[in-house]
Amino acid sequence: MVTSVSIKPKLETFIVIHPRKMETTLKDLIDAGIVSPGPRALVMSYKSVTVHIDLDEDGRLIWNGETYPNPSNFSLKFKRRITPQIQTDNGFQSISYGGKALNQYVNLFKVQMEIEILKKELQLFCDIHDLETEPEPEPEPEPEPELITKYFDGRSTRPLCRHSYNANRSKYGIPCSEHVSDCRCPIHRSKTFWRRLTNEALNLRKKSIVNNPVYSKLIVGLPIHEYHAFLENRFRQTFRGILPQEVLDKKYHQLCEDNYVLDEWYPRCEGKHLKDPNEIARFLAKVFNHQNTQLILHNNEHARQFGVDIDQHQMLINGSKVGIVEESAKKNFDKIVPSEEAISFMLDFVNNFIEKEA
């Protein structure tokens, strides 16, 4: 009798919180931190029509001034605008978040909940049998190194992450360290996503414009020889009156040998707020288009060799822009219209990167 009385409250509590038969909602995903609410957080495409949907903290969808209680309510009503005879629709399959259908996040949520249920069932089993064995004392963890350490490389201070995720990495001879700006540990992963994505896109361009004529014509928008001529002409226009004539007369390969570097006029970092893979793909297709590129000085030391005023011409010196964006660069960027083939190429690139990150 004593046993049955002592465990009854635990059983009743367990039944109340047991979630196996409950339908998962968007609010569940938000509360679990799997999905984040916000403007244009969700995307749905149907018969070549794509819409972006706001998501509030209560899991309601907002589009075109109207509020919808759940994904299926929205997707059915929207699809009926195009196909009136449609009877039902699963909004969790039709609507995506972060490039993946919502039902994939539901599956992740259910796995997490199942794990919690198993933990509670195990605890309940132990309570029923009144286990008296004392748990073995856990070994004291070895002291963790300070998570962030700073290293001075002779020119600037570099913050390094020493999270255990970086156990096999080493920067500047420091074990278990990675540049914070490139770190993929659980703390920095989401913050460094854009930098890592665009760095990989940049490395692809560096390799491709040398020996891949298809990439040059598709992404850059010009055959390689025409692209070099374009860069030479822009270089002369940009640096006329700043650099000596003998430098202005040099060809593309000579300028590269003299340490002039290829730079995006409108910077890649300006797209870091984008979340939708389609929007990211369009942005990257514009960023790497020939109209958004130029040759500039390598660094301040390079500029001083030619007597270039580093304060007056900081926008023409790599590493000296310090986040400044020229208005003319923004206007030029807005006028660029990438080809659908370029956007499709970049979309495949973005989706492959996201898949590797998962």
pLDDT band (50, 70, 90) for residue 247: very high
pLDDT at 210: 76
Range(s) of the domain holding residue 177: 148-182
Q: Is the same domain home to 178 and 212?
A: no
Q: Is the same domain home to 114 and 167?
A: no
Could you read off the pLDDT of 65-75 as tens digits, one per residue?
999 999 999 99
pLDDT band (50, 70, 90) for residue 194: confident
Q: Is the same domain home to 217 and 314?
A: yes
pLDDT band (50, 70, 90) for residue 127: low
More confident residue, 206 or 289: 289
pTM over 0.85: no
- Amino acid symbol at 209: I
Residues in the chain: 358
Q: Is the same domain home to 197 and 340?
A: yes
Is there a domain that residue 16 lies in? no
Could you read off the pLDDT of 163-178 as tens digits, one per residue?
888 888 888 888 888 8
Spell out the residues 6+ positions from residue 335 whose beta carbon is closer than 8 angstroms to its own: 291
pLDDT at 39: 93
- Amino acid symbol at 63: W
When pLDDT is averaged across residues 323-330 and rounded to a whole number, the result is 86
Q: Is the same domain home to 243 and 163?
A: no
Average confidence score pLDDT of the chain: 83
pLDDT at 131: 47
Taking 80 as the threshold, does the pLDDT of residue 298 lie above it? yes
Q: Tell me if 40 sits within 8 A of 52, measured CB to CB.
A: yes
Q: Is the same domain home to 218 and 351?
A: yes
pLDDT band (50, 70, 90) for residue 319: confident
Q: Tell me if 68 sits within 8 A of 55, measured CB to CB.
A: no
**Domain's final residue, options 108, 123, 138:** 123
- Per-residue HEC secondary structure of the chain comes to CHHHHHHHHHHHHHHHHCCCCCCCCHHHHHHCCCCCCEEEEEEEEECCEEEEEEECCCCCEEECCEEECCHHHHHHHHHHHHCCCCCCCCHHHHEEECCEEHHHHHHHHHHHHHHHHHHHHHHHHHHHCCCCCCCCCCCCCCCCCCCEEEEECCCCEEEEECCHHHCCCEECCEECCEEHHHCCCCCCCCCCHHHHHHHHHHHHHHHHHHHCHHHHHHHHCCCHHHHHHHHHHHHHHHHECCECHHHHCCCHHHHHHCCCEEEECCCHHHHCCCCCHHHHHHHHHHHCCHHHEEEEECCHHHHHHCCCCCCCCHHHECCCCCCCCCHHHHHHHHHCCCCHHHHHHHHHHHHHHHHHHC
Handedness of CA 170, 176, 180, 182 (dihedral sign): positive
- Structural domain total, the chain: 3
Dihedral through CA 17, CA 18, CA 23, CA 25, nearest 10? 40
Q: Is the same domain home to 245 and 331?
A: yes
Is there a domain that residue 4 lies in? no
Q: Which residue, 45, 33, 1, 35, is CA-closest to 278? A: 45
Q: Is the same domain home to 199 and 169?
A: no
| Angstrom distance (rounded) from CA 279 to CA 343 | 9
Q: Is the same domain home to 225 and 340?
A: yes
Q: Is the same domain home to 170 and 199?
A: no
Give CA angle at 200 (195, 203), nearest 5°: 120
Spell out the residues 6+ positions from residue 27 whose beta carbon is closer than 8 angstroms to its own: 58, 59
Q: Is the same domain home to 255 and 170?
A: no
Q: Is the same domain home to 253 and 349?
A: yes
More confident residue, 137 or 149: 149
Is there a domain that residue 264 lies in? yes
Is there a domain that residue 115 lies in? yes
pLDDT at 13: 39
Is there a domain that residue 11 lies in? no
pLDDT at 335: 95
Q: Are strands 66-68 and 100-101 parallel, antiparallel or unpaired?
A: unpaired
pLDDT at 5: 36
Could you read off the pLDDT of 14-24 as tens digits, one per residue?
334 444 445 88
